[in-house]
Chain A
Amino acid sequence: MTAAGADGRNSAGTAAKSRVKSIIRFGAAGALLVLGLLFIFDRAFLGWILHALFPSIKEVVYPRATLPQLLGAHLVLVGVSSVAAAAVGIPLGIFVTRRSGRDFLPLVQDLSSLAQTFPPVAVLALAVPALGFGFKPAIAALFLYSILPVINNTISGLRSVPALVLDASRGMGMTPVQILFYSELPLAARVIAAGVRTSVVINVGTATVGAVAGAGGLGVPIVGGLVRDNTAFVLEGALTAAFLALTADWLLSRLERLFYAPQRDMAHRG
């Protein structure tokens, strides 16, 4: 499951084996990282690779913007929409699991699933007349598209907190707010963070569609390449987006590990 699978319980043999595995994995990740960074930041390397792949195409590197520029715009799109999805989705998930908000639970779940069934392009098409061309409709589409995993994970994370823990917390004299912050959120944090990670990874891919509405980002060379029938442009944008998605996924799953993970415990098997 993780690169560092060698913990104390393993016997010496499996520990050695998993150390070898983790070295290989670490090496592969490192190589990928170097290649990806060269691809993005070294225009000569980029041209050389794309030219090698598509010898028949004359202009292989997208000319109107550099990859770092496109990547920057893409990051802003993903960042703003993901932060918005988390900022709305987590409190909403908390609200519908409270006594006072329980009535809204089915409604919120239905709405967020509905939002994800809409293709982002359709949302863009609907949002452009209302919000104009550019950044705003793209953010709206991404926000709607990525809020579902955040809400769902917040709800299931909070629900996974054992009733026993809640009973003990209440019995010790915690107020509902204290129970939320001392017991529920720390125990649900990892699941919630996984929801945020999913939402970010979805957004990295989906944000390429934003180019259609003129929002910029890595979708620009993809759309440009499709229009001009230049596969090299498409690949330039697509490979970078894939690299970004992998990196984001890896970084965020590292962050998740800072939170409490349920343990197989001997003491409380009831």
Chain B
Amino acid sequence: MIEFRGVSKYYGDFRALDNISFTVEEGKVCVLIGPSGCGKSTTLRLINRMIEPSAGEILVDGKNVRSVRSERLRRGVGYVIQNVGLLPHMTVEQNVSIVPRLLGWDDRKMHERSDELLDLVGLAPEQYREKFPHQLSGGEAQRIGVARALAANPPILLMDEPFGAVDPLNREALQGEFTSIQRKLRKTVVFVTHDLDEAIRVADSVVLMQAGSIVQQDTPERLLAYPKNQFVRDFVGSDRALKRLSRFIVHDHMHTPSMLRARQRLSKEDIETRMEERYFWVVDENGYLRGWTDLKESVPEEEVRVYMTQIKPIEVGINEFASMRDALSRMMGQGIKEVPVLDNRWRMVGAITLHDVETITEKGDFSW
């Protein structure tokens, strides 16, 4: 648990932070958000003592951070920054192993840990280990940044606009992956961003800041539903209902889809009994999405693939860790009522319908 108690930071006469107090629960993601210059990055950097406070104290698990030597403190706190900051003269593996090396791990343990982490962030170790940072794309470098921060398995992760420098498409993928990793690891995360959608999506609690003070700390749901004042209302904007959808992960709301296999043969009776559902997704023997079919056009005793309509999964499908908002916009964009859900290896694992989206919006515990 991280606790700020009456923390202030002055630069000369300028009050970067003015007497802020808040707590971050263990295993939760706390997002610091606000317009630039509001003090969110300063707040984050106080935790690993990259900056020292002018007044007040910061406690980690009840212990003042200043009671530990700063270098030792930092080795126990994962740190991810915007633009990654990978050391350009080191390979991916060497970068990931920096903190373990500082902690004196032996070579074999470091090597194994590095492979394990590359797997975790979805990059094949044998392909990426020996690469240098300049050979990586923005998204890949950012994944390595996250792997590096997790290397020594720190209980706390500090992320300063970690996905700020990647393009929107990649950012969504990274947010999805972050969510799935966080579900596994349950780190205590402090996450700085200026992107409200990102905050709504990854946060357990949001700390909204303005000019060095906290305006509102709440769950994303409550921040959207009950903005405390005009500033918050303006900040969250008028599309609050849509933003709220970013909270929900497709994986948690998908249902088992109506699927047929490409090489399956249906008899006349089969087709008749299924006619009520009529539309089916078609997958191949490995579970990869290949297309869809309308049973009205079916040919009895022929393989399903003969009469299926081919589609490109990447255009139609959506990742299981994408948000319901992404699913909705995919429905709108493609003009379909049901979106196939794919896992990280592009296998079809479920589907999301417009009805599923409606269920969420209806379930809100407050009026909009």
Contacts and interface: CB of A to CB of B under 8 A. Distances in A.
A264 B48 contact: no
Contact of A171 (B81, B87, B133): B81
Given A268-B83, A270-B83, A187 B89 contact: yes
A172 B49 CA distance: 11
B71 A173 contact: yes
A172 B74 contact: yes
A22 interface: no
Interface string B94-113: 00001100100000000000
A170 interface: yes
B138 A266 contact: yes
A171 B74 contact: yes
Given A173-B102, A174-B71, A264 B88 contact: no
A175 interface: yes
Interface residues on B, range: 20 to 34
Interface residues of A, number: 26
Given A266-B134, A267-B134, A267-B136, A165 B88 contact: yes
Contact of A264 (B99, B132, B134): B134
A27 B86 CA distance: 41
A186 interface: yes
B351 interface: no
Interface centre among A165, A172, A265, A266 (most CB of B within 10 A): A172
B230 interface: no
Given A167-B50, A172-B75, A268-B141, A260 B89 contact: yes
A264 B133 CA distance: 10
B165 interface: yes
Contacts of A263: 88, 132, 134
Contacts of A174: 71, 98, 102
Given A172-B99, A174-B102, A267 B87 contact: no
Contacts of A183: 87
A262 interface: yes
B84 interface: yes
A172 B86 contact: no
Nearest to B166: A267
B79 interface: yes
A177 B86 CA distance: 19
Given A164-B85, A165-B88, A267 B141 contact: yes
B137 interface: yes
A118 interface: no
Nearest to A260: B89
B92 to A, nearest CB: 12
Interface centre among B50, B74, B89, B102 (most CB of A within 10 A): B89
Given A173-B72, A266-B137, A164 B83 contact: yes
A260 B88 contact: yes
A262 B87 CA distance: 11
A14 interface: no
B75 A165 contact: no
Interface in A206-265: 260, 262-265
A165 B87 contact: yes
A268 B81 CA distance: 12
Contact of B48 (A171, A265, A267): A171
A170 B74 CA distance: 8
B140 interface: yes
B349 to A, nearest CB: 31
A109 interface: no
Contacts of A187: 87-89
Contacts of A173: 71-76, 99, 102
B102 A178 contact: yes
Interface of A: 162, 164-165, 167-175, 178, 182-183, 186-187, 260, 262-268, 270
> 4 shortest A-B CB distances, which residue pairs?
A168-B85, A265-B134, A173-B75, A173-B74
19 contacts: A162-B88, A169-B85, A171-B48, A171-B74, A172-B74, A173-B73, A173-B99, A174-B98, A174-B102, A175-B71, A182-B87, A182-B98, A186-B89, A260-B88, A263-B132, A264-B134, A265-B134, A266-B136, A270-B165
Interface of B: 48, 50, 71-76, 79, 81, 83-89, 98-99, 102, 132-134, 136-138, 140-141, 148, 165
Given A267-B84, A268-B165, 7 more contacts: A169-B87, A171-B48, A182-B87, A186-B89, A266-B136, A266-B138, A267-B141
